[in-house]
Chain A
Amino acid sequence: MHETNMNTKPSILSIEGLSIAYDKDKLAVKDVNATIKKNAITAIMGPSGCGKTTLLRAINRMHELYPNISTQGKIKLYDENIYDMSTIKLRRKIGMVFQRPNPFPTLSIYENVIAGYKLNGIKLKRSERDEIVESSLKDVALWEEVKNSLHKKGNFLSGGQQQRLCIARTLAFKPDVILLDEPTSALDPIATAKIEDLLIDLKENYTIVLVTHNMSQAARISDNAMYMYMGELIEYDETTKIFTNPKNISTQNYITGRFG
């Protein structure tokens, strides 16, 4: 893992010696060390099975939902080890958007956006709720399209709109970091482009970590990129450097399409 010249920017997450195993001896993630920079888009790429999704999910401890997982090492959010934090508190600071849009089908669009508050039992004044819903939907450029149907359920929305709704739901907590797990792989090219533009807008106020199997997406929108292979972090550098002058032969093979 080689980091150069990114050091000048402030970091927000520090991954230290992280190893994750399923079932005792199968290591999905092997001793990863990296710092994620604030207000940047960091892409994690690599072939299937390289551990990128496991790594991403480790950042908001979602990987713990599955049995027989053991984790070693630390991840620090602003110097606080997330493994010492309550998961409830952690997941308000680090949000996640999934591969397939998953708005709650029994809730209206309005209720979907503030679903996080309702789930956590946080009571807000009506004006506060309205404000959060409006600002989150505006942040994802969905407000104009749904402002007159806020109380309808979201099943009339297209895939891309649903995904933006899910992003709005995450933004409602004003998290520090947003994790996205292949967020556009289920979407058509136009919707994909809109989400990519959205992410570039969002990085001004948020830190974005994005797993993608689409190299050109990584090249298009990310500032820094990680390349993983077989659970190890092979190379991590500014995106332009990785794509023009990779230091590792494995990285080079992946980028030139020799495999993956």
Chain B
Amino acid sequence: MNSDKILKNILFIASLLILLISGAMVYSLVRGSMVSFHEFGWKFIISTDWDPTQGREHYGALLFIVGTLFTSIFALLIALPLAFSTSLFVAEYFRNTRVASIVSTLVDLLAGIPSIIYGLWGFYVLRPFIVSIGLSSQGYGIFTSGLILAIMIVPYATSLSNTTIMMVSNELKEAAYSLGATRLEVIWNVILPNARSGITASYILAFGRALGETLAVTMLIGNANIVPTGLFSTGNTMASVIANQFGEASGLQLSALIEIGLLLFVITTIINAIGKFIIKRFA
């Protein structure tokens, strides 16, 4: 009896660790941003300045917020047809066949490749290719980094989609077939409407993953502190600027970087929470 209580208490205390960690994370980020917040207030979020020159330091996050959103949305748009097709391949068309499990394993491998390797591949293989076909002079920018990002998030988008698609019952599909529908029509009219929430949630979660990606994007986006003007323009993201400037930053600049980190934390948490909420409602 006594040992039972002890164990239960230990387990409970362990669970408190999660609360402790999450609280401490928020606390540290906020505290580290204080200097910057006192200096710039809420305008930090909408300012596109980024000037580290001593004497007239002025920082703002908007450049990076735009860059992050731009790359991630572009990545999601590219990833959508790829992930959706792969899901249909594995969960519907070739479901339960050997081919499907091979494809599924390969997609999982995509998730296992470290991001620095994606960055290197993008830098040494994709970038010259894009330059060689004339799309861009140097190959850096939203387009290149977005493409790599797209490949990185495909596995995240497919895994949940697969589960939801496979859960659409056979009986519903058979009902549609017996009414004369083609396979495409069954997918469009029966599978999609009934798997809608899971598929949406998976894309939202993939989007969240894209927002926080650092290395691969840093190596390909050009690290230019400008507002991106077009698909092939260079730019910068929240994660990249932290990675790049952290080493030499101190004082106000460091605080500004931490504040950007806080913003990134908040944005990704909200996106992930929305994704989870959708999953809960559908389950």
Contacts and interface: CB of A to CB of B under 8 A. Distances in A.
Interface of A: 60, 62, 65, 87-92, 95-96, 98, 100, 102, 104-106, 115-116, 118-121, 166, 169-170, 173
B6 interface: no
B180 interface: yes
B171 interface: yes
Contact of B189 (A62, A91, A105, A119): A119
A95 B185 contact: no
B178 A95 contact: yes
B277 interface: no
B174 A91 contact: no
A90 to B, nearest CB: 8
A118 B169 CA distance: 20
Interface size classification for chain B: 10 to 19
- Most chain A CB within 10 A, of B174, B176, B180, B181, is at B180
B132 interface: no
Given A104-B190, A106-B194, A119-B185, A62 B177 contact: yes
5 contacts: A62-B177, A62-B178, A102-B171, A118-B189, A119-B179
Nearest to B192: A106
Given A104-B190, A106-B193, A120 B178 contact: no
Contact of B174 (A65, A115, A120): A65
Given A119-B185, A119-B189, A92 B177 contact: no
Given A62-B178, A119-B176, A98 B171 contact: yes
Interface of B: 169, 171-172, 174-182, 185-186, 189-190, 193-194
Interface of B is mostly: helix
B178 A89 contact: no
Contacts of A96: 174, 178
Contacts of A89: 180
Contacts, number: 63
Nearest to B176: A119
B178 A91 contact: yes
Contacts of A166: 175
A102 B180 contact: no
B178 A60 contact: yes
Contacts of B172: 102, 104-105
A116 B171 contact: no
B26 to A, nearest CB: 40
Given A102-B172, A104-B172, A104-B190, A119 B180 contact: yes
B177 A65 contact: yes
Nearest to A101: B171
Nearest to A67: B97
B119 to A, nearest CB: 42
B181 to A, nearest CB: 4
B278 to A, nearest CB: 16
A88 B182 contact: yes
The 7 closest A-B pairs by CB, nearest first: A116-B179, A91-B180, A96-B178, A119-B181, A102-B171, A106-B193, A88-B180
Contacts of A119: 176, 179-181, 185-186, 189
Given A88-B182, A115-B179, A102 B189 contact: no
